[in-house]
Amino acid sequence: MQANEPVPSTADMLPSDLREVMSELSDLYGVRVERPTLFKGEFDVNVRFVDPTHGMLLAKVSADSLGEEMLRWQETVLEAAAASPEVTFRTPTILPALDGRWHVRIGTCLVRVVTWISGRLWNENPSVGGAGAELLHSLGQASARLTLALDTVEMPPDVPDHDWMIERGPLVVGRALDRLERGSGERDEAELERRVSVVRRITAHFAEHVLPRLGALPRAVIHHDLHDANVVLDETGTAVAGVIDFNDAVRAPRISDLAISGAYAMLRRSDPEAAFRAVVDGYLSVLEPEPAELEVVGEMALMRLCMNWAQWRARAVDAADSEYALQRSAHTWPLIAHLAEAGTPH
């Protein structure tokens, strides 16, 4: 449950409203907030800090609009992952407040504290584009193990779907592309138009030929965001040592988790198809999908890449700080362009 883009700070340098939150958090949790570091996140504000007793922790500060039912759902998923013997790597655990609550309300914010998973994130590895088959195999295994760990978790009906679900791909990509076509501020409008056309073609194919098949696939609660910024490496850089950020966990076609992890594993690779196959092989060594799942996993991976590119590019248009949005899709387009020509991985 870490986040990219650290903003080093001291307690005095935190925004005043966040200082107040952390001060009250200190009392409610019985912790000292030392050496805080602010991290950017998609929705949450994340503050890593050190407590002399508990070590390194992460405070996740959410707007009240997130809703307590969503926090309870995320807590359920975290608890299931931490308790499962299937999970052989580290995952964040919840630090309860002094009165036993797993999250607290401070002003207009909902706040929870989890353990920090130390180590180097995959996307911080200087050789990320040259990750060997051993690491890719380990990623596939991690995806399958998390899927098994969450297999018995029931998602409450009041937990909504979200716009990163591959099933929603045609809808959210179409909406994002419409926004880009209304004006994006791009210097090369012709190139943007070409890219939008390619993504529309991929999306139309998915909507017609793949989406109707997803309803018949096995469904399960899955991590649903197993990309290179959510994977902590071991000291050798050859295996998954930890998985973070369970905020997108949701009940979806079970094979979506493999599609997502395989999609992001292809980024910045000279042979993306080989990388995808290595992730699939790792997954198969732990969990055997149905043939119908394997028939569509490559198409689903390409759809997720289109979702990444389109949604983050569209968000950058209206964002006060577009750098974060653009960074989240910085390496996606070359891979989409390659797969549009070469065909989906399998």
Q: Mind giving me the DSSP string for 157-181? A: TTSPP-TT-GGGHHHHHHHHHHHHH
d(CA 346, CA 337): 17
d(CA 310, CA 137): 28
pLDDT at 13 over 80: no
E strands of 154-239, at which residues? 219-222, 231-233
**Predicted local confidence at residue 244, as pLDDT:** 96
For β-strands 104-106 and 109-115, DSSP reports them as antiparallel
pLDDT bucket at 3, cuts 50 / 70 / 90: very low
d(CA 120, CA 241): 9
pLDDT at 9 over 70: no
pLDDT at 129 over 70: no
Each residue of 300-331: pLDDT tens digit?
A: 999 999 999 999 999 988 876 777 778 888 89
Place of tokens 């991690």: 142
pTM for the full model? 0.92
Each residue of 171-216: pLDDT tens digit?
A: 999 999 999 998 766 667 889 999 999 999 999 999 999 999 999 9
Count CB-CB contacts under 10 A for residue 180: 20
- For residue 227, CA distances in Å to 81, 121, 240, 319 come to 17, 10, 12, 23
pLDDT at 11 over 60: no
Q: What percent of the chain has pLDDT over 90?
A: 80
Mean pLDDT of 294-305: 98
Which residue segments constitute the domains of the chain, with CATH numbers given?
6-115 (3.30.200.20), 122-342 (3.90.1200.10)
Mean pLDDT of 1-11: 46
**Predicted local confidence at residue 188, as pLDDT:** 76
- The backbone torsions φ and ψ at residue 184, rounded to the nearest 5 degrees and listed phi first, read -125, -10
**Predicted local confidence at residue 8, as pLDDT:** 45
pLDDT at 12 over 70: no
